[in-house]
Structure 1
Amino acid sequence: MTVADLIKFIERKGDAQFDQEVISWVNATPDNLALYSKTKAKHVIDTLDSISESTSTAENYADFVKKRKTRKKSFRYFLKIASILIVPFLLSTYIYFNFKEATPESAKIVYSSSVKEQKTVTLEDGTVIWLNAESKIVLDDNYNSKERRLKLYGEAFFDVVKNKNKPFIVETASGIRVKVLGTSFNIKSYSSEKSVETTLVTGKVELYNQKEDKALITLSPKQKATFSKKENELAVTQVNIENNIAWKSGQLIFDKTPLDEFALNIERWFDIKVVMKSDNFKGYSFSGKIEKTNSIQDIIKVLEVSSNLNCIYTENDKTLLIQSK
């Protein structure tokens, strides 16, 4: 970590991932913390100097002692000198209380995507993860030590680098765990949806529940495991892989998808609110393809042509109302 990187962090000019990398580095060793404190202290003084008279700190302080200028000026220079002494202590305290989640016992690294956003993340072992809209992965800073474990909230596609000595484990909020050595697969685990889906593309994955160490099932390529949260049941089906991972390429492909599930996907992808005027519509299903580049009006046309529905979109509150014709 360079001094330039530390100043970038101090000035809050980096993104969330950059900030987390700096925080982890600062907390790694006492020497790192000392360098950060020294850099911060110097930066504070340099910042003060840029808005004060172009004379040295020592000259100003000597002048302050000798001439006893106004209280306002005296107080300002007192703060300048005091900052040199107390900033390292304050910074250590600041890092402890503000970044205490980054200590070895509870250090967390978070990668997330917002509504409408898809993001690609490469982990230190070379594993590549694609995050769908409104998704998040959380891993400890000891990731890739004895094992490679993380938590998923939302949907992600994983292309895992093989390492037989360090299994790759994905935990979901529902309690389902997916364990692999090296493979590619997709997990869909949104809290707002009724099920957790794991689709295997290549290799082999094992599914576990939260309380047991024995695998519930082992998937083969082109198989999808669907865990029903309410019924606590697991079902396996053969699927078209491309349909399940098309979101990576900017497409949503639906095959007899319940209308309420379709609505959740549209909300995440287009940052709108879908309101169904009747509960009876939840029995409807939708088949078709939605492109990321489609407009809301395009989606309305697809819905109205494929079903006996009438859709009204309100731009002001970004709400799509679905009702019968």
Structure 2
Amino acid sequence: MKNNNQHIDEQLLVAILEERATGQDKLNFQNWIDATPENEEIFQKMLKIWKSSKEIEVFQRIDEAADWKMIKAKSGKSRKLNTTKLVMRYAATVLVLISLSLVYLYQTTPGFGKYAQSHAIMQKEQILLADGTEVFLNKKSKIIYPKYFNSKIRNVELEGEAYFQVKRNPNKPFIIKSGDAIIEVLGTSFNVNNRTDGTTIVSVNSGKVSLKNQNTGELVYLTKGEKGIIQKQELSESVNKEFNYKSWKTGVLVFKETPMKKVFADLEQHYGVKITNKSLKIDTLTYTNTFTNAKLDKVIEELKIGLKVHVSQKGNHLIISDENN
């Protein structure tokens, strides 16, 4: 199980910015930068704010000659300009700006302060949140969450797909923002799939889930075996007839007298391939089989034998045709 390892000590970042970091500090910083593209974005954001605050140029803005003329005109006598207060005034301004910058980053920037993030790019990830909730993050997905749940609610944001096993806490609802959907639970297990076209699908495995369209305010309650869909600002609910909605997590594909078009769609989704069917004889057939952590080659062989078809593969493209073609 993975606990987020992308955090970095704020004092180390300040040391880097002030160019007083030790060799080990620089090594730790570089390891953090290399860990994920988001860390580079975080640092660049902080660097921009830092440079803006430095533009005040404390000492260059103290025009001693101008200040001396002003004092001399008012007093009618020469005296040495006391620059200490001016320096302290500008220094205090810089300090306030830097402090506000750090507070802003702490409050809003995942990976720097109170929020953490995990970005599954090439492989799935399993994350344990501070409240004991388990999150299984699919490939090409990202989740942002607090390092600690100190408020009255538990808020996270999801891009992509994840399976949640929420630790029950009646006093602290667990709320997920994903696309146009706001999902609220107390403790349950369910799958959230926020697709690139803006569609969000919530499939409930246990317990009760509320699904709200944040654009229209429409709300439905889903229980075990049901799913809700928000698509083009429309919210719908139905019995979940999808056997394989969490196959990406379990590794198990189940087909029970499933129409071939649906079989191919599930295989495309699960293995990340494109399937072109040129065999008219199997269009009206159904298929029954179960694959458990099966490699694509094994699935292809099973299709050949069970359907009596020819399957050719060109990269990620499978072409199905009759055996005599």
Fold agreement, TM-score > 0.5: yes
How far apart are 1:123 and its partner, in Å?
A: 1.0
Match of 1:276 in 2: 276
- Work out the number of aligned pairs and report it: 247
Q: Provide the aligned C-alpha RMSD in A.
A: 4.3
Distance in 2 separating the partners of 1:208 and 1:309: 45
TM-score by length of 2: 0.59
Match of 2:223 among 215, 220, 223: 220
SS in 1 for 2:22: helix
Match of 2:202 among 195, 198, 204: 198
Match of 2:133 in 1: 127
The aligned amino acid for 1:235 is E
Structure 1 segment 87-98 matched on structure 2, within 5 A: 95-97=46-48
**Could you tell me whether the CA contact under 8 Å between 2:244 and 2:266 is conserved in 1?**
no
Whose Rg is larger? 2
* CA 1:228–1:161: 2 relative to 1, 3 Å: closer
Match of 1:151 in 2: 157
The aligned amino acid for 2:300 is I
Match of 1:296 in 2: 296
Distance in 1 separating the partners of 2:26 and 2:118: 34
Match of 2:95 in 1: none
**Could you tell me whether the CA contact under 8 Å between 2:203 and 2:240 is conserved in 1?**
no
Match of 1:11 in 2: none
How far apart are 1:224 and its partner, in Å?
A: 1.9
* CA 1:120–1:206: 2 relative to 1, 3 Å: same
Match of 1:313 in 2: 313
How far apart are 1:120 and its partner, in Å?
A: 0.9
Gaps of 5+ in 1: 1-14, 48-91
Distance in 2 separating the partners of 1:46 and 1:210: 44
How far apart are 1:205 and its partner, in Å?
A: 0.7
How far apart are 1:129 and its partner, in Å?
A: 0.7
Distance in 2 separating the partners of 1:135 and 1:211: 23
**Could you tell me whether the CA contact under 8 Å between 1:114 and 1:135 is conserved in 2?**
yes
**Could you tell me whether the CA contact under 8 Å between 1:262 and 1:286 is conserved in 2?**
no
Matched, 1:137 2:143: yes
Match of 1:237 among 239, 246, 269: 239
Distance in 1 separating the partners of 2:119 and 2:283: 30
**Could you tell me whether the CA contact under 8 Å between 1:125 and 1:144 is conserved in 2?**
no
Percent of aligned pairs with the same residue?
A: 21
* CA 1:287–1:150: 2 relative to 1, 3 Å: farther
Match of 1:188 in 2: 193
Distance in 1 separating the partners of 2:233 and 2:310: 33
The aligned amino acid for 1:110 is Q
Match of 2:38 in 1: none
**Could you tell me whether the CA contact under 8 Å between 2:278 and 2:319 is conserved in 1?**
no
Match of 2:106 in 1: 104
Match of 1:21 in 2: 7
**Could you tell me whether the CA contact under 8 Å between 2:158 and 2:178 is conserved in 1?**
yes
TM-score by length of 1: 0.59
How far apart are 1:158 and its partner, in Å?
A: 0.8
The aligned amino acid for 1:130 is F
How far apart are 1:299 and its partner, in Å?
A: 1.2
Distance in 2 separating the partners of 1:162 and 1:148: 11
